[in-house]
Amino acid sequence: MRLLLLAAALCALSTGTALAAGDADAGKTVFKKCAACHSVGEGATNRVGPVLNGLFGRTAGTTDYGYSSAMTDAGAGGLVWTPDTFARFIPKPRAFVPGTKMTFAGLADQAAVDDLVAYLLTFSPDYVSAETDGPAP
């Protein structure tokens, strides 16, 4: 069994993908921390922050929302939201995009980040990962 787990881990590392994916159901609970400012799903509207439907695959700062110049500049500089870029952003948003108007302090727990990513992926059905060349799960 250990050999099988080691082989799976090495395969995941060699392809650049994570061994363990987050849990979308648990991510729905994590999203409650985001829901005061963001919405997802059918009928979602911008709030203090933009709608997060279709987040993955989108260039930062490009939806119909009043983004900070820091976020639109980040998008103009090539920031595209992928599970990886979002997972690096959400622990410390203001460190990742200095000058963003997002006031959320961050999500430090990696398992919660993974779960949130899995949940948000359910609202990005057209997202295609460059690693898999197929639609997101």
Whether 65 is covered by a domain: the verdict is yes
Mean pLDDT for all residues in the chain:
85
Q: Which residues of 14-48 are buried (b: 16+ CB within 10 A; e: fewer)?
A: eeeeeeeebbbebbbebbeebeeebbbeeeeeeee
| 17 vs 31 pLDDT, higher one | 31
Whether 94 is covered by a domain: the verdict is yes
The pLDDT of 13-40, averaged and rounded, is: 80
Predicted pLDDT at 9: 35
Predicted pLDDT at 13: 35
Whether 67 is covered by a domain: the verdict is yes
The residue segments making up the domain with residue 81 are 21-121
Predicted pLDDT at 33: 97
DSSP, residue by residue, the chain: -HHHHHHHHHHHHHHT--SS---HHHHHHHGGGTTTT---STT----SS---TT-TTPBTT-SSS---HHHHHHHHTT-B--HHHHHHHTTSHHHHSTT----------HHHHHHHHHHHHTT-TT-B-TTTSSB--
Q: How many CB atoms lie within 10 A of CB 53?
A: 18
Q: What is the pTM of this model?
A: 0.81
Whether 2 is covered by a domain: the verdict is no
| Number of structural domains in the chain | 1
Whether 6 is covered by a domain: the verdict is no
CATH number of the domain where residue 58 is located: 1.10.760.10
